[in-house]
Each structure stands twice: as structure tokens, then as C-alpha cells.
């Protein structure tokens, strides 16, 4: 779940910060017209904040991922494993028609890997030390193909666009509902824009943002099947199935920070299916076997 949770939490933090900035600078006032909602102005403000927050989160994703797991980018290979890792990623990137990503290793016992970045030609692919130690090279090859496919498909950019649209509706609805609630509480038809309203909007924005994240998670589950198919094309179907079977048999507890678990190759954590960023591994294996 590494990629998605990091993006969602970064997006939430950015949106809260932008909301505070809007309040402090008084920009929120432009959403009102003599105490009444100016829906056109509110929608424009929501779109600017929503899309801006989403793409700021995307721009920060690679840096935050590196910092979160203390990933060590390979600049000069220090051993045969790192040499092979760079060569395999380069081969997959060339086949997929993208620029060579940064390649990193992070110290963690579980088997995991992730890719992130703002564009296809400026990405990061990172693997855990546990994955390198627990899988054979054919399996690691398939996992790397899976992650390169995420990059080649532009999944993070697509996700930013989806999140930006959802952010827009979240900001818009939070302020419309916030105004109605504020007026109902205060009994003042011309209320709105005060600190009580501001607090209501923050709470509504977080609650509606959680609901919006379910849409993002649904997209994330769908794109995992595409990435598995891409990994099968790049490294072979049998290798991709073998890698998933190995991942499915891993009972180790993930040590990835909660904020970035949705970036991972496994990412099956969660108390309910609709909260998961990844479909169950048996379904992914079945989809690969059923593919023509």
C-alpha cells in the first residue's frame, strides 16, 4: 500500500494547510456575497485549491518516500546485486519506453517494493532488503516489471488528476454544508466566514476527504491488475505468478510507515476490502492465469 497512502496523507496535509492559508489571507471572503454563498466564486476557489493541492502532493511524493523509508539511492553499484538491480530496471525501462528511474534499496525485513514520481521520466523505484533476500532473481525481476509498469502507465499522474477533481468537490461541499450548519447554529442568516464556520469546514473537509479516498482506493485496486499484466509482459507470466505466490506466503509484519504502505507491491492491509489499495493476491494470480 506504499504509494497510495503516502499520496493521500500528503494530499490531506496540503489541503488542510491551504485551507488555513485561505482563512488567514481572507481569500475565503470572496466565496461570499453580502453574507450569501457565491457559488461560482466558491467553485473556482475549490478547483484552484483542489487541483493545486493534489499536484503539490504529487511533486513531493518521491522526496517524501525516500525520507520515510530512508531509501539509499544507488549511484555507483557496490556489489553484484546492486549491479544486477540497476541493469534489470534499465532493461525494463527501455522496453516500457520511459526514462531510467532512480533505483534505491531500503532496509526492511518484509518483501516489498514501490515506485513513485511526478513523471514517467523522473521516477523512483525502491526495493526492500527483505525482498532481495527472500526472492530469487526471476521473482524480483517480475516485481520490478510490475513497478516499472506503474510508472509507464502514468498511474501517479492519473491518481493526482482523480484526487484533484475529488478535492474540488470536497472543498466545495465542505463550505456549502459548513455555511448551512453555521447558520443553523448561530441563527444568523448572514453568518459565514467566522472561526466557528472555519472549524466546521475543517472537520467536514477531513470527513469528506476520507470518503473521497475510497474512490482513489478503488482506482488503485484496478490499476494493480494492469501492473501485474505489465510485469508479466516484461518478465514473464510464470515469474510474475511466482512472485505473487511468494508474496502471498509472506507472514511478516510490514514495517513500512502507515503513510506510505499503499506504494508497495503487496499492500493488502486493512480491515475492509473497500479500504484496501490492492486486491487480494489470489485474485491477482487468477487474473494473470486467465489472461490470453
Q: Yes or no: say if 61 and 156 are a contact pair by the CB < 8 Å rule.
A: yes
The question of whether 102 is a catalytic residue gets the answer no
Write down the residue that cell numbers 510464470 correspond to: 238
Distance CA 119, CA 265 (A): 19
Point out the catalytic residue in the list 40, 76, 82, 147.
Answer: 147
CA–centroid distance for 85 within its chain: 24
Q: Yes or no: say if 159 and 7 are a contact pair by the CB < 8 Å rule.
A: yes
Tell me which residue of 95, 103, 105, 93 sits closest to 151, measured CA to CA: 93
Indicate the SS3 state at residue 78: coil
Distance CA 84, CA 90 (A): 10
Between the alpha carbon of residue 224 and those of residues 34, 255, 284, the distances in Å are: 49, 21, 8
Dihedral sign (CA 208, 274, 6, 47): negative
Distance CA 261, CA 58 (A): 16
* Catalytic residue IDs: 147
Amino acid at each position: 500500500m506504499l504509494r497510495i497512502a503516502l499520496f493521500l496523507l500528503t494530499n490531506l496535509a496540503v489541503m488542510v494547510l491551504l485551507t488555513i492559508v485561505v482563512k488567514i489571507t481572507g481569500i475565503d471572503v470572496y466565496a461570499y456575497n453580502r453574507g450569501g454563498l457565491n457559488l461560482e466564486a466558491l467553485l473556482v476557489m475549490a478547483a484552484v485549491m483542489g487541483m493545486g493541492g493534489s499536484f503539490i502532493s504529487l511533486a513531493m511524493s518521491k522526496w517524501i518516500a525516500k525520507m520515510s523509508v530512508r531509501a539509499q539511492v544507488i549511484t555507483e553499484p557496490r556489489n553484484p546485486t546492486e549491479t544486477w538491480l540497476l541493469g534489470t530496471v534499465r532493461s525494463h525501462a527501455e522496453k516500457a519506453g520511459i526514462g531510467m528511474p532512480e533505483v534505491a534499496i531500503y532496509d526492511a525485513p518484509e518483501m516489498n517494493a514501490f515506485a513513485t514520481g511526478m513523471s514517467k521520466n523522473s521516477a523512483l523505484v525502491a526495493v526492500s532488503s527483505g525482498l532481495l533476500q527472500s526472492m530469487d532473481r526471476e521473482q524480483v525481476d517480475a516485481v520490478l516489471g510490475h513497478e516499472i509498469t506503474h510508472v509507464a502507465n502514468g498511474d501517479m499522474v492519473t491518481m493526482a488528476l482523480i484526487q484533484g477533481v475529488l478535492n474540488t468537490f470536497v472543498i466545495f461541499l465542505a463550505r456549502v454544508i459548513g455555511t448551512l450548519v453555521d447558520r443553523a447554529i448561530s441563527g444568523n442568516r448572514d453568518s459565514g466566514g467566522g472561526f466557528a464556520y472555519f472549524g466546521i469546514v475543517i472537520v467536514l473537509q477531513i470527513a469528506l476527504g476520507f470518503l473521497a479516498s475510497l474512490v482513489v482506493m478503488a482506482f488503485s485496486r484496478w490499476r494493480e491488475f494492469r501492473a501485474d499484466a505489465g510485469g508479466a509482459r516484461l518478465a514473464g507470466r510464470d515469474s510474475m505468478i511466482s512472485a505473487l505466490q511468494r508474496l502471498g506466503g509472506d507472514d511478516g509484519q510490514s514495517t513500512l510507515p502507515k503513510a506510505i504502505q499503499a506504494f508497495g507491491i503487496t499492500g493488502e492491509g486493512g480491515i475492509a476490502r473497500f479500504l484496501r489499495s490492492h486486491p487480494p493476491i489470489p485474485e491477482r494470480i487468477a487474473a494473470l492465469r486467465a489472461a490470453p
